[in-house]
């Protein structure tokens, strides 16, 4: 017979080990964050240096591609102008309204179509036909319907953003576990209760992904509408600067639109992480 060997672990050792592991995990996360920020700053510095050298070395014409120092100086001048901030506000207003309308419509319609198999089959061909149509192609129709008004811009913003959210909601509703759905039905839960307690938590990660994608698309279309329709905003200012041959102002405004896109993406990623803190995809990112 083999004798059983019992190992006695001193009281508090497990707690100490757990605290040590947690401390190492936090330090590892801080180290990775610092390294990520450092690499990002190095990339920006390398980009600006390349930008500065290209016109200085004559690789491109400085008249049409001004050095980074000239463009950044123009940007510093722009941010001190009140009209510049008004244009930023106008662009963000169109972006926000279009995104809100598209999200509400896509969430409601996506949930209804996704829950009814007949509707999903009946609308599949129509969705696949309408979804690839470029929103820019609708600009003449938008101007014909609403003229040179904000409604024209909202039409193409909503159209482009709608599909980003609608398709994700469809996938999310279809991803509901069949066993969980049958269990909820066997327990006599009403349709509304099943939507709130089963369908919505399953579709929420898909909805947040669609919303983040739609936010970026809405900004692109808001600026595009201002450029082609002529609504007040950053897009129209880019066209005015280009027509006047003010190339530093053109590149300065392009940088601003890029910064807006970056900020919007970071904000929606933060919202997504906070909203889905319980989801395994977010927890997996924290462990890595």
Written as six digits, the tokens of 6 are: 């019992």
At 85 the pLDDT is: 95
pTM score: 0.82
User: Between these two residues, 84 and 190, which has the higher pLDDT value?
Assistant: 84
Q: Is residue 15 part of a domain?
A: no
Q: What is the DSSP letter of 9?
A: P
Which residue among 63, 87, 113 closes a domain? Answer: 63
138 and 279 fall within a common domain: yes
pLDDT in tens, 117-173: 888 899 999 999 999 998 888 999 999 988 888 999 999 999 999 999 999 999 888
Could you tell me the two tokens for 2?
């083999």
Does some domain include residue 8?
A: no
Residue 98 burial (CB < 10 Å; 0-12/13-18/19+)? Answer: buried
Question: Does a structural domain hold residue 12?
Answer: no
- Whether 117 and 132 share a structural domain: yes
Convert 131-144 to b/e letters by CB count within 10 Å (16 or more is b).
eeeebeebbeebbe
d(CA 252, CA 76) in angstroms, rounded, equals: 9
Q: Which of 32, 63, 94 is the last residue of a domain?
A: 63
Largest CA distance in the chain: 96
Same structural domain, 82 and 109: yes
Q: Are residues 56 and 76 in the same domain?
A: no
Q: Answer yes or no: do 55 and 149 share one domain.
A: no
| DSSP 8-state code for residue 76 | H
Statement to judge: residues 132 and 247 lie in one domain: yes
Sign of CA dihedral 24, 29, 35, 41: negative
Q: Which of 9, 32, 63 is the last residue of a domain?
A: 63
Residue 177 falls inside a structural domain: yes
Q: In which residue are the tokens 């482009």 written?
A: 160
- Whole domain around residue 52: which residue ranges? 21-63
* Count: domains in the chain: 2
Domain CATH for 80: 1.10.3720.10
- % of the chain residues with pLDDT over 90: 47
pLDDT in tens, 165-199: 999 999 888 887 777 776 777 777 777 777 777 87
């Amino acid at each position: 017979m083999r004798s059983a060997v019992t190992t006695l672990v001193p009281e508090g050792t497990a707690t100490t080990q757990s605290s040590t592991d947690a401390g190492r995990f936090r330090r590892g996360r801080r180290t990775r964050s610092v390294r990520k920020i450092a690499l990002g700053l190095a990339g920006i510095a390398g980009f600006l240096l390349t930008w500065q050298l290209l016109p200085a070395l004559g690789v491109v014409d400085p008249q049409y591609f001004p050095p980074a120092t000239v463009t950044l100086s123009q940007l510093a001048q722009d941010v001190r102008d009140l009209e510049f901030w008004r244009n930023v506000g106008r662009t963000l207003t169109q972006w926000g309204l279009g995104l809100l309308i598209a999200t509400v419509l896509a969430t409601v319609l996506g949930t209804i179509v996704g829950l009814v198999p007949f509707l999903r089959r009946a609308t599949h061909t129509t969705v696949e036909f309408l979804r690839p149509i470029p929103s820019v192609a609708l600009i003449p129709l938008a101007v014909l319907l609403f003229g040179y008004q904000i409604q024209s811009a909202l039409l193409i913003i909503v159209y482009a953003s709608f599909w980003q959210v609608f398709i994700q909601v469809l996938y999310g509703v279809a991803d509901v576990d069949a066993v969980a759905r049958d269990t909820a039905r066997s327990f006599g839960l009403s349709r509304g209760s099943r939507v709130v307690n089963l369908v919505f938590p399953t579709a929420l990660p898909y909805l947040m992904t669609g919303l983040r994608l739609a936010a970026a698309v809405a900004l692109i279309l808001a600026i595009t509408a201002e450029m082609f329709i002529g609504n007040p905003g950053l897009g129209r200012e880019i066209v005015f600067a280009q027509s006047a041959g003010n190339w530093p102002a053109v590149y300065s405004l392009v940088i601003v639109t890029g910064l807006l896109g970056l900020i919007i993406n970071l904000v929606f990623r933060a919202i997504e992480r906070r909203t889905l803190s319980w989801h395994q995809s977010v927890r997996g990112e924290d462990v890595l």
